[in-house]
Structure 1
Amino acid sequence: MQVNEWKRYPATYLLLGLTTLTFGCQYLLNDFQATAPLSLFKMGAMYGVFVQYSPLDLWRLVTPIFVHIGLEHFLFNMLTLYFIGKMAEQIFGTLRFLGLYLLAGVMGNAFTLIFTPNVIAAGASTSLFGLFAAVVILGYYSHSPLLNQLGRSYLSLIIVNLIFNLFTPSVGITGHLGGLVGGALAAIFLANKVESRLFSRGWRLTAFLTYIILLVTILGFTYL
């Protein structure tokens, strides 16, 4: 791999590295029980019922992004991150891309916490769906033909994946929906490098407040 690749996409490779390190630790620490519910929980997976009774465990809104349930799950998400992440990092810039990835994942895990608290949930797909949603939003409003085309393609991809989720009970659709919402909102209030003034200050403030209010509301209902 050329050094230029690391320099051009530092956040993408950082996320790939952290997730790969976490996946390796899952097996080093838990051996053949790495994908057992208790092992996943110990590694930081979301389990809403526990978090409801332990507010200090709200860090689990972040850690499930880096935990995966088996080799196939890990490889599929990392391949997606490799290709989609580099493109999104070019569009948003390193720091904003990193923020987008984490914000989408947090919202996805918040949806899992409130709507499916009895499920052990993990995986980068909450964040990845957020990246898809961000590109769709930019593609819809952008004046760039390339972004327009990417937005249409990713919208089709989202629809196909959500339909697939409906017929795959083991896949957590609530986390994906939350990731979509978080990514779409973050795409508006995080300026992108292609068209930095695509959204007005009012739009950006509204999107930011909507994200905060939605997250606070979810946590409010969780601990009422």
Structure 2
Amino acid sequence: MSSTESVDVPLHTPNRLQDLFNQVDRDNDGRVTYLELWQFLRYNRHGIPKNKVRKIHEKADRNDDETLCYEEFKHFVLDPETKIFDKYFNNYMKVLLPQKHQLAIKSRGLDTIDGAYEERYSCWPPKLCMIIISLVIIIFYIIDAAKAESNRFGPISWGLIYNPRRRKEVWRFLTYMFVHIGINHLLMNIIVQIFLGLPLEMVHKWWRILIVYLFGVLAGSLGSSIVDSHSYLAGASGGVYALMTAHIASVVINWKEMRYPLPQLLIFLILITADVGSSIYNRYVHEGASISYAAHFFGGLGGLLMGTIILDNIKVRNHEKIIKYVSICLISLLISVAVVYNAVAESHFPKQDV
């Protein structure tokens, strides 16, 4: 038999049945709900109508508690009338799982599931979070440009930009994300945040990505206010960098569930290093540039830490729990220090206008 050939994996093998159950049981609570069954089949492109999946689940639920335990699931899968699982499971073992991982079976199924992360990509319901934020930014820019009395800012921008002389207007630590200097600045951030944000939304849900994005914006302004205390801030770069490093966080916590984690990690590290390097160069070498590399750096740091805490971790391992706890401690410490320093170290900052 050549290395490219494959054979059917018999479903009656107990370990195979247990592995299939573990794949359907997304929250690992030992029970399979109707939604878990539907999501499992939907993510793996079986295209079974939702009402049909509900009828299948109701038929298998012999004690009418609206969930399937392992014994009910096993009886259901081995039912001769249920051919969909036999077809699916053999295809899954032959195509989605590399040969070396077919042998990595422990008491609760496969320890490593290559491609499980990629299987979670879903375009439905539509992923609108980053698109809506981008549209709001564009609308603000158009309104401001129409009302601007100079080449740079209009009334909206002056009310939202982070101004180091008006730090007591605390909304500015977030709202500077809506202000952009020029069309090139606007388009670059919009394009990057959509291309970075949508893939994350497809796996991790919109609300997680929104939290990461806004936290990156806040971390960028807080960090910049301390290490670059006289700089104004405009643009969504803090949030954009948070999305970029959130990809790194996602790779780290889902390393064994991804097909190609190392290339993805290297790509984002190279992009971040190159951009931070160019920002520092433009700030200190290129005459007239005023890019706040600090906002980029701290926005990225915020996205990395928050990402390891809040992004969906498909299979939680002990070292990933440690990473999460360390991130929680670091975030709590850094935000506390930044807020307290902004509140009490008045001499460090420019004289306030308000």
TM-score by length of structure 1 reads 0.86
How far, CA to CA, are the matches of 1:16 and 1:211 in structure 2? 27
Q: How many residues are treated as equivalent by the alignment?
A: 214
How far, CA to CA, are the matches of 1:71 and 1:157 in structure 2? 22
Q: Is the 8 A contact 2:157 2:179 kept in 1?
A: no
Q: CA deviation at 1:139?
A: 2.1
Q: Structure 1, residues 60-96: CA drift from partner, whole Å, max 9, x if none?
A: 1110112111111001111111211111212321110
How far, CA to CA, are the matches of 1:126 and 1:50 in structure 2? 19
| Amino acid paired to 1:99 | I
Aligned positions of 1:1-224 closer than 5 A: 7-31=125-149, 33=150, 35-36=152-153, 42-51=158-167, 54=168, 57-141=169-253, 142-143=255-256, 144-169=258-283, 170-192=290-312, 195=314, 197=316, 200-224=320-344
Q: CA deviation at 1:207?
A: 1.7
Q: Is the 8 A contact 2:177 2:236 kept in 1?
A: yes
More helix by share: 1
Task: Show the counterpart of 2:70.
Answer: none
Q: Is the 8 A contact 2:140 2:156 kept in 1?
A: no
The worse-fitting range, judged by mean Cα deviation, of 41-50 and 178-187 is 41-50
TM-score by length of structure 2 reads 0.56
Unaligned runs of 5+ in 1: none
| Amino acid paired to 2:152 | T
Unaligned runs of 5+ in 2: 1-121, 284-289, 345-354
* Identity of matched residues, %: 17
- Give the CA RMSD over aligned residues: 2.3
Q: Is the 8 A contact 2:248 2:265 kept in 1?
A: yes
Q: CA deviation at 1:190?
A: 0.3
Q: CA deviation at 1:102?
A: 0.5
The worse-fitting range, judged by mean Cα deviation, of 114-123 and 197-206 is 197-206
| Amino acid paired to 2:177 | I
Q: CA deviation at 1:204?
A: 2.6
How far, CA to CA, are the matches of 2:260 and 2:159 in structure 1? 40
